[in-house]
């Protein structure tokens, strides 16, 4: 699929609404304990971005109590996170219908309408939000985006100016002003605003891309554009699109070697990238490397059979390098699609003569002479073919006709070639078909962007008419204003994607950008590989349990909180029913409680998971996996408990109680992990998780020792190097920290490179 550098003027994409897990004030009281539990578990699933699972829980509440506004609200949040904007709007509207005083419901509906380009109604909802929160810059920024889409530039200007008056360094407001300037054809003003953003936020790769786009597409200053895309690559070294775009910029300054190097590296990162292969085919053809150019075109056509520019270029190379029969096959396909392509017809006739396919050549020459009856060379060619076919009379007649035409023209030799006359028309045919192909691809690319990212409609520069020019890739150069509800800051949109922001976790901060450690390892039934290093994780005890075949699925180990698909969630509910029956009708074993605890844990019912893990441990005090699972459940419970804290009246007293509860929870988790280590002294992941807990407790030296032990046991555990690096950096040991980051990056932990870049400033 072919993309191009997008125009900054329409590069806003609305951020997905992220919601606090606190209950909404003003909603109907929930009388039944069961309904309240289901709501809590649904919010837990929502917190961990298990949107499909959370919808199942909210459906259950709505089925029982359709008069409650909260499940509609939370289901709207889940749907908007899945890009079901219409469904989200319907649920938010239902919530508002039941209780019009739930202010965040207007915000959810505004975002849903915004993403479906219902800008006017979205503005209405944003205005309602501003009546409730008149000083909220996020709402004002989103409203500015709508006004820009409606081309209400003065209103958009007022909104963005309002935001900048309150925060002159706001990156989103600066980039919004840059977009507004470009809409007003003020590229210099846009450049100033983007530069202002970069001066305050040096690690914003999207700002560098925005300035790169202005330099390249508006000011034609490719050298400065290159400087900016170099910075973006330093911040995001694995982004394939950046290298393809840089190859375009290098091509513009005639740096052929650099262009080729970037395309080679882009293909190394993403071997199936059609655009990179197409661009490399063009470049290889330009430098005379025809055989390898054809290889790239073959790859492009294998993945995109309708790519007319690739097909045409490949056909011409084959003809020019002497592969006549393959060239004929290509010309046949071109003429099948457009029989008015006279040049292709003429080329095919010449190739038929070259390959001694005289009957076919005669057919094409008849068509040529029917259109150009005064083409003397055509008659001479046909005469030669007829002579070779033994048609003496036809041979003599064509020669006579050729001589008669030359006499009538008053010339002694052939001076007319219809190809010269038809060349321009033929080029128009090829350009038209190439344009149609590019337009189709761009439409599909736009559709995919909107489906996957909820991006707003972008204005796209006219597709380049000469398909011999290198293409560039749309690298999602989009402004992404944050949309945070009245929440406790659990979610963030920095760097363009959702990330946890948990104040209880240790982190390194540079230029006001939070850096989070890799997550703890958790038991699961559903595994995934690190796509860069292909590694999975195993524990001896886990394998031993799997070999007993007593659980409903095989255990695996994942880094992070496990997430379930709708099918997987149904499987786990069925598994709970199975263990309920087993526990009720047979002599209960530790493994049965463990199995049900696993299901509850994956379904985010952590209290039930802890309770069953307790029972499993009571039944078998040497059950190492039960301690490991209880640790996992306790970790999730701590996150959920801290996520749902409100601002109490007695702030000091409540804060002291919260700190004490946190200390107890962390000590309990550390105790579980130390018990695992006692039972299994070489358990790498118990040491890793213990180090994580020690860092949360502020025991940095202990965390380093435990991470080091995990690395000793498993030298390719990139997550341990990464997290140990963060601890070293917290302690001010840059040398050891950067060494660990380098090793972690080598082992496939890509955020390492981003932090290395920041630390080098």
Q: What is the pTM of this model?
A: 0.56
pLDDT at residue 686 greater than cutoff 80: yes
Report the C-alpha gap between 672 and 89 in whole angstroms: 45
pLDDT digits (tens, 9 = 90+) for 480-535: 223 333 333 333 333 333 333 332 222 232 333 346 888 899 999 887 655 445 56
Query: How many C-alpha atoms does 483 have within 13 Å on its Cβ side?
Result: 29
Residue 265, pLDDT score: 93
Confidence at 618, pLDDT banded by 50, 70, 90? very high
Euclidean distance between the first and final Cα of the chain, in Å?
37
What confidence score (pLDDT) does residue 445 get? 56
The residue behind tokens 């003809």 is 319
Residue with tokens 């990056």: 745
Lowest mean pLDDT among 161-165, 408-412, 524-528, 597-601: 408-412
Return the DSSP state at 9: G
The model's confidence at residue 279, banded by pLDDT at 50, 70 and 90, is very high
Report d(CA 187, CA 212) in Å as an integer: 12
Q: What is the CA radius of gyration of the chain?
A: 33
- What pLDDT, on the 0 to 100 scale, is given for residue 610? 95
Residue 248 has pLDDT above 60, yes or no: yes
Residue 492 three-state SS: strand
State the pLDDT confidence band at 596, using cuts at 50, 70 and 90: very high
At 443, is the pLDDT very low, low, confident or very high (cuts 50, 70, 90)? low
Minimum mean pLDDT range among 133-137, 513-517, 702-706 = 513-517
Is a pLDDT exceeding 60 seen at residue 15? no
Q: What is the pLDDT of residues 620-670, one digit of tens each?
A: 999 999 999 999 999 999 988 887 654 444 556 677 787 888 899 999 999
User: What mean pLDDT is reported for the chain?
Assistant: 79
CA distance 676 to 674: 5
Q: Tens digits of per-residue pLDDT, 34-52?
A: 788 888 888 888 888 777 7
Give the residue, 171 or 543, on which the prediction is more confident.
543
Percentage of the residues of the chain whose pLDDT score is greater than 70: 79
Question: What angle is formed at CA 463 by the lines to CA 434 and CA 470, rounded to 5 degrees?
Answer: 80
Structure confidence by residue, pLDDT tens digits, 743-759: 887 677 777 767 776 66
Record the tokens describing residue 145, joined without a space.
Answer: 């985006």
Tell me the C-alpha distance between 508 and 510, whole Å: 7
Q: 119: Cβ–Cβ under 8 A, 6 or more apart, which residues? A: 113, 146, 147, 149, 150
Sign of CA dihedral 362, 367, 373, 377: negative
Predicted confidence at residue 535, as pLDDT, reads: 65
Q: In 3D, which of 245, 199, 177 has the Cα closest to residue 474? A: 245
Q: Which of 5-9, 424-428, 709-713, 741-745 has the lowest mean pLDDT?
A: 5-9
SS3 of 433-475: the string is: HHHHHHHHHHHHHHHHHHHHHCECCCCCCCCCCCCCCCCCCCC
Range 59-81 average pLDDT: 89
DSSP 204-265: -HHHHHHHHHIIIIIS--HHHHHHHHHHHHHH-TT-HHHHHHHHHHHHHTT-HHHHHHHHHH
Residue 668: predicted pLDDT: 94
pLDDT score for 534: 53
pLDDT at 454 exceeding the cut of 50: no
pLDDT confidence of 280, banded at 50, 70, 90? very high
Overall residue count recorded for the chain in this entry: 761
Q: Which two tokens stand for residue 385?
A: 């073919």
The tokens describing 283, both together, are 């470049």
Q: pLDDT at residue 257 above 90?
A: yes
Which pLDDT score is estimated for 510?
33
Percent of the chain with pLDDT over 90: 29
**What domains can be seen in the chain, in order of their start residue?**
518-714 (1.25.40.10)
pLDDT for position 651: 57
Strand partners of residue 492: 499
* Range scoring the smallest mean pLDDT among 154-158, 410-414, 542-546, 563-567: 410-414
Bigger pLDDT: 471 vs 262: 262
* Contact yes or no for 601/609 (Cβ under 8 A): yes
Report the distance separating Cα 758 and Cα 88, nearest Å: 38
- Provide the pLDDT for residue 614: 95
The two three-digit tokens of residue 398, written as one number = 């064509």
| pLDDT reported for residue 653 | 66
> Which residue has tokens 């965390």?
703
């Amino acid at each position: 699929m072919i993309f191009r550098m997008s125009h900054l003027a329409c590069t806003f994409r609305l951020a997905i609404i992220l919601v606090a897990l606190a209950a909404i004030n003003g909603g109907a009281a929930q009388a039944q304990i069961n309904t309240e539990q289901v709501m809590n578990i649904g919010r837990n699933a929502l917190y961990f971005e298990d949107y499909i699972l959370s919808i199942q829980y909210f459906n259950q509440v709505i089925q029982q109590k359709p008069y409650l506004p909260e499940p509609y609200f939370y289901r709207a949040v889940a749907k908007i996170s899945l890009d079901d904007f219409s469904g989200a709007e319907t649920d938010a509207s239902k919530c508002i219908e039941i209780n019009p005083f739930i202010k965040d419901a207007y915000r959810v509906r505004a975002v849903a309408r915004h993403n479906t380009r219902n800008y006017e109604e979205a503005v209405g909802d944003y205005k309602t939000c501003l009546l409730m929160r008149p000083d909220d810059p996020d709402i004002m920024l989103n409203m500015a985006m709508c006004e820009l889409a409606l081309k209400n530039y003065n209103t958009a200007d007022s909104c963005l100016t309002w935001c900048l008056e309150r925060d002159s360094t706001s990156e989103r407001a600066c980039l919004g002003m840059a977009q507004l300037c470009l809409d007003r054809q003020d590229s210099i003003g846009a450049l100033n605003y983007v530069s202002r953003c970069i001066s305050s936020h040096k690690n914003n790769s999207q700002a560098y891309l925005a300035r790169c786009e202005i330099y390249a597409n508006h000011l034609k200053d490719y050298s400065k554009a290159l400087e900016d895309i170099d910075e973006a690559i330093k911040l995001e070294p694995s982004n394939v699109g950046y290298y393809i775009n840089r190859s375009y910029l290098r091509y513009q300054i005639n740096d052929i070697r650099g262009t080729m190097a970037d395309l080679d590296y882009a293909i190394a990162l993403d071997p199936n990238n059609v655009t990179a292969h197409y661009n490399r085919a063009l470049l290889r053809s330009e430098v005379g490397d025809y055989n390898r150019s054809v290889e790239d075109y073959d790859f492009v056509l294998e993945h995109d059979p309708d790519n007319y520019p690739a097909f045409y270029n490949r056909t011409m190379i084959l003809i020019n390098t002497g592969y006549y029969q393959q060239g004929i096959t290509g010309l046949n396909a071109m003429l099948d699609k457009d029989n008015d392509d006279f040049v292709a017809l003429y080329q095919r006739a010449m190739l038929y003569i070259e390959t001694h396919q005289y009957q076919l050549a005669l057919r094409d020459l008849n068509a040529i002479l029917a259109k150009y009856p005064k083409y003397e060379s055509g008659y001479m060619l046909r005469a030669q073919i007829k002579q070779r076919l033994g048609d003496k009379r036809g041979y003599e007649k064509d020669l006579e006709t050729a001589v008669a035409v030359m006499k009538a023209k008053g010339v002694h030799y052939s001076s007319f070639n219809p190809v010269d006359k038809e060349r321009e028309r033929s080029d128009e045919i090829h350009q038209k078909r190439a344009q149609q192909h590019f337009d189709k691809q761009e439409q599909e690319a736009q559709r995919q962007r909107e489906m996957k990212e909820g991006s707003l409609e972008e204005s796209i520069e006219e597709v380049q008419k000469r398909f011999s020019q290198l293409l560039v890739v749309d690298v999602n150069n989009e402004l992404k204003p944050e949309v945070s509800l009245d929440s406790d800051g659990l979610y963030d949109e920095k760097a363009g994607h959702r990330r946890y922001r948990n104040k209880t976790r240790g982190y390194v901060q540079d230029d006001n950008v939070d850096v989070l450690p890799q997550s703890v390892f958790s038991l699961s039934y559903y595994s995934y590989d690190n796509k860069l290093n292909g590694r999975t994780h195993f524990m001896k005890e886990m394998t031993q349990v799997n070999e007993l075949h007593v659980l409903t699925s095989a255990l695996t180990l994942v880094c992070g909180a496990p997430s379930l698909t709708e099918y997987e969630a149904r499987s786990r509910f069925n598994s709970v029913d199975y263990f309920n029956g087993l526990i009720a009708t047979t002599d209960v074993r530790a493994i049965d409680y463990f199995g049900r605890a696993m299901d509850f844990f994956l379904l985010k019912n952590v209290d039930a998971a802890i309770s069953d893990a307790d029972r499993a441990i009571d039944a078998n005090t040497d059950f190492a996996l039960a301690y490991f699972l209880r640790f996992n459940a306790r970790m999730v419970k701590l996150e959920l408990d801290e996520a749902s804290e409100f601002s109490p009246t007695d702030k000091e007293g409540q804060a002291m109680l919260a700190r004490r509860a946190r200390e107890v929870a962390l000590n309990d988790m550390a105790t579980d992990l130390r018990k695992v280590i006692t039972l299994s002294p070489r358990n790498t992941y118990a040491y890793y998780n213990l180090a994580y807990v020690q860092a949360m407790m502020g025991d940095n030296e202990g965390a380093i020792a435990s991470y080091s032990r995990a690395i000793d046991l498993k030298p390719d555990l990139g997550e341990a190097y990464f997290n140990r690096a963060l601890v070293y950096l917290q302690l001010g040991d840059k040398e050891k920290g950067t060494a660990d980051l380098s090793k972690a990056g080598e082992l496939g932990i890509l955020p390492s490179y981003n932090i290395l870049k920041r630390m080098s400033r």
